[in-house]
């Protein structure tokens, strides 16, 4: 948790400012209100996200569950999970410092073309 807080502070001046304000308002859980968690389910050959956007730039935790029958991963914005066994879950924390559209995909050859891809929007 210490590492997480430090990297959030380093992410950008704007993020740091927001965090300081939140820390003042919610001393017990300073990062709770800025955290976006997205549940990701992936299988042959699709991804289903609990939400396809974040309300603002910042950290997003993708919780990827492989609901398929072969190995898959989840990759976005230059980061990716390891290859995940069927039924298993992996977390991927990604910093989005800018508003924009970010493509995600499974990097196993052929899987993105078969449907394991999409776009995540940071507003
Ligand atoms: Cu895949």
Say how many Å lie between the CA of residue 4 and the centre of ligand 1. 28
Helix (H) or strand (E) segment spanning residue 13: helix 13-25
Do 68 and 44 touch, CB atoms closer than 8 A? yes
Cα 43 to middle of ligand 1, angstroms: 7
pLDDT digits (tens, 9 = 90+) for 107-123: 999 999 999 999 999 99
Distance (angstroms) between ligand 1 centre and the Cα of 65 equals 11
Reported as a single tens digit per residue, the pLDDT across 46-83 is: 999 999 999 999 999 999 999 999 999 999 999 999 99
In 3D space, the residue among 45, 96, 44, 86 whose CA is nearest the CA of residue 64 turns out to be: 86
pTM for the full model? 0.73
* CA geometry: angle 39, 44, 47, nearest 5 deg: 25
For residue 34, the model assigns a pLDDT of: 61
Going from the Cα of 61 to the center of ligand 1, the distance in angstroms, rounded, reads 19
Angstrom CA distances, 44 to 24, 29, 87, stand at 46, 38, 13
- How close is the Cα of 72 to the center of ligand 1, in Å? 4
């Amino acid at each position: 948790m210490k590492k997480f807080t430090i990297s959030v502070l380093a992410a950008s001046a704007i993020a740091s400012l927001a965090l300081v304000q939140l820390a003042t308002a919610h001393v017990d859980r300073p990062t709770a209100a800025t955290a976006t968690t997205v549940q990701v389910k992936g299988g042959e050959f699709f991804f289903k996200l609990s939400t396809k956007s974040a309300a603002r730039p910042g950290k997003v935790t993708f919780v990827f569950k492989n609901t398929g029958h072969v190995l898959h991963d989840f990759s976005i914005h230059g980061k990716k999970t390891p290859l995940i066994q069927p039924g298993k879950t992996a977390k991927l924390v990604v910093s989005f410092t800018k508003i924009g559209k970010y493509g995600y995909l499974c990097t196993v050859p052929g899987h993105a073309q078969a449907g394991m891809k999409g776009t995540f929007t940071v507003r």
